[in-house]
Structure 1
């Protein structure tokens, strides 16, 4: 069943015990209506999408599932959507997916972090929830996938507040987010995506003891953003799409021994990308649109690398196969002793695919590398 209905309240859902698939609720009604909806008796419902803004776009639904979409005719202000109203929409424990958008309270209802109330939950998405500042989902041991999008109330995101069973984490568009801690607590994490976090400075693998300080969050002892080095044994894909995130300057994930795929895109804070900081087990590396990137070092450390893609890094001048000790110099980074851009000449025997696109200052490849691999230069 797929249906879209505009109504003034949700109380008419009370007797729909056989409702299944996706239920989408846009807008809010009064508390009494929500209490009469009797959401807890809908045991066949798989996904519940609650968007407190009736004018929001985007359904966040699986189109293959049956769907009932309800748009509530505004009777109260969006800003009056509160804790009690959402608390009254507690679903049946069989629910697998929960999406909450444009929620105006700083506290989530107790059922959202109760393993008995959400004993089957697999995915939770929060978006445009600007007053929420913490993620109290540590007791939801069935939770596998968490999405936090456009939640501008977060300055510090403490991942140690999450269940260690989490497998997929996506963080995007959190404009005030400066620090992510506790990544190492997520023992089962397989996919991490972080993008459009404009002021993100630091990610730490362990939890961070926060103290009063005059220094900005994320500053290391050397005054630079940093990542700590605890390992996640199961992380197999790390995808970072940091649009306009000029604060991140290094990626020292050398202890992520099963990391296979890394994407670095539009990270304009990078001037030097030190690949010797990565695990030697990396299989695929994709670097693109890093407008300030001049030098890539340590490529030879990636002795399992099969695919390397570098595109639209317009000031990239040099790639070295080994690590490079950086010293103060009046010469631009990337200039060789002959004054030309260069690529170091150590070989990676496992490399089978190399793509370089629109890197106009990078013009020399190592001898003997091109004939043995699939190469695209544009």
Structure 2
């Protein structure tokens, strides 16, 4: 073991009793070791370890060539003297060391250290005075730490759940090279950086402030935010009523995320035209977006979340001063209970490709008005994701022609949805032929999928979950109109309480790579007649997952014919008692069996009755 290379993880150090036992690991001579992780595993009821851990860690001195060191749940008060000799260390992580007061010896020199992470060390008081090479410093849950070292190279600083005293000690000179700053979970903080003029941080590109409920100001003076800022994220600061600068002056700003009552939109202030991503969260008084949104010519993504007073995106759809910018690519609206319409003219957004709407119960229709082009989506549209539509009963007419580029459709939590289309015999209804992914989740009254699914020549991914009224898997022996397309690659079937077997014709899915069957309590066998050649799985199958099916007593007989199968996972199928008589395919590389007590017993290594059938498989997990 002297020549061990790369990374070494040592856990369970709470069982090592003294320094002599620790020295037996002989880490000091392992000169090729680059990364070392040392962990004590203890719960609240165990001894704190402050007596024995000091000696154990002293005895685990690594070679001076070590590059990365991770120490977790060490119970000592201070770190050993050998820390001073690790001059090649580039990364140190110290986690859950609840008794530690001093991290490094006072004379410690760490000239190569680039990244330091301190997590949940509540008694830590002192850091070295100078960390000249550190570019990333992350501190979380170190409330007694009162000051930071000199950080002339710092680029990224994260201070979370830290004491106010440490934050107030920061000055502009020690942050002059800072590019990314995150401050969060500081309950008593009123002024973010009392001795720092944010405008003087001319390298700052990302600023995040979250969960500081008493915060009233971002910094001293009226200097404002630096124009170099590219990303600004403010979350959970209800007492922050204004920004220290006019946002339109932030000419480099690309992403803005605001979770507060800040007056983002007013006659006195506008947003910079450089912004590409705008996120508005929990603005209780926002009733509509302002005039002039079209001027945000770089805006690609707009996210609106939890704005209970939002009734429409714009107060006057007929006024040309209102509208979305033409370059918008994605619009996401979540949990806006009073939103009753989307704006007119969306069909003119020629770059628009993605619409996500979740929990907007007053939105009754899906933006495709048969008699009004103003309510249609653009032809370029590719992704539609809708959930929690209590009044949606079907998808609209003419989806094939109005959304010819639609590739992904997700529908979730629509209790009134009985069928995707009200009239399967009408050619005006149907899914676009370029559809690649269809996911339907938690639609308790959905009884069927539409006819003509076999014509969706681009469909590769199909997921149907928690649709209890859907009794069959769309493969009608007498009617080709109900078959699935042969292009299907991934099929997921979950929570089908009435499914008792897979249908005929599964072999025709000649592109199927992955099949997942989960939580089908009435599934007694994958196929009703294993001796009938019309039943069976396609030989192209690579991944097969079966779980949460309480009644199947066996796997299909002809499993050995699945000559492409590499991964087989069976979990929570307690009645499966044995593997097929002819065994499993020789191509199988991974077998996982869990919560199947009868099968697990037969597959025990060497002495299980089915062990000869699986001993050729490289990776077997029978837990």
Whether TM-score is above 0.5 comes out as: yes
- Is residue 85 from structure 1 mapped to residue 85 from structure 2 by the alignment? no
CA distance in 1, matches of 2:10, 2:314: 54
Segments of 4+ moved more than 6 angstroms: 198-201, 217-220
- Is residue 45 from structure 1 mapped to residue 33 from structure 2 by the alignment? yes
1:86/1:22 Cα in 2 relative to 1: closer, same or farther (>3 Å)?
same
1:63 equivalent in structure 2: none
Deviations 1:32-88 (A, max 9, x none): 1123332111112222112233569xxxxxxxxxxxxxxxxx9x8634244343222
Deviations 1:154-196 (A, max 9, x none): 57x87x845243222222244x3686656xx534333333445
* Residues 8-27 of structure 1 aligned to structure 2 (within 5 Å): 16-27=2-13
1:370 equivalent in structure 2: 324
Native 8 Å contact 1:120 1:142 kept in 2: yes
- Structure 2 residue corresponding to 1:130, chosen from 98, 110, 118: 98
- Structure 1 residue corresponding to 2:255, chosen from 266, 281, 284: 284
* Residues 279-358 of structure 1 aligned to structure 2 (within 5 Å): 280-288=251-259, 290=260, 293-296=261-264, 300=270, 302=272, 304-311=274-281, 313-317=282-286, 343=290, 345=292, 347-358=295-306
Q: CA RMSD in A?
A: 4.2
Native 8 Å contact 1:46 1:97 kept in 2: yes
CA distance in 2, matches of 1:300, 1:133: 48
- Uncovered stretches (5+) of structure 2, i.e. residues with no partner: 175-185, 316-320, 334-623
CA distance in 1, matches of 2:262, 2:256: 17
Aligned residues between the structures: 299
Secondary structure of the structure 2 residue equivalent to 1:83: helix
Native 8 Å contact 1:52 1:78 kept in 2: no
- Is residue 105 from structure 1 mapped to residue 76 from structure 2 by the alignment? yes
Native 8 Å contact 2:58 2:82 kept in 1: yes
1:171 equivalent in structure 2: 139
- Structure 1 residue corresponding to 2:22, chosen from 16, 26, 34: 34
Secondary structure of the structure 2 residue equivalent to 1:32: helix
- Is residue 251 from structure 1 mapped to residue 206 from structure 2 by the alignment? no
Per mean C-alpha deviation after superposition, the further-off stretch among 353-362 and 343-352 is: 343-352
Native 8 Å contact 1:22 1:45 kept in 2: yes
1:188 equivalent in structure 2: 153
- Uncovered stretches (5+) of structure 1, i.e. residues with no partner: 1-14, 57-73, 209-216, 318-339
Instruction: Answer with 1 or 2: which has the greater Rg.
Output: 2
- Is residue 147 from structure 1 mapped to residue 117 from structure 2 by the alignment? yes
Which protein has greater RCO, CA pairs closer than 8 Å, 6+ apart?
1
CA distance in 1, matches of 2:74, 2:141: 16
What is the Cα deviation at residue 257 of structure 1? 5.2
Secondary structure of the structure 1 residue equivalent to 2:245: helix
CA distance in 2, matches of 1:254, 1:268: 18
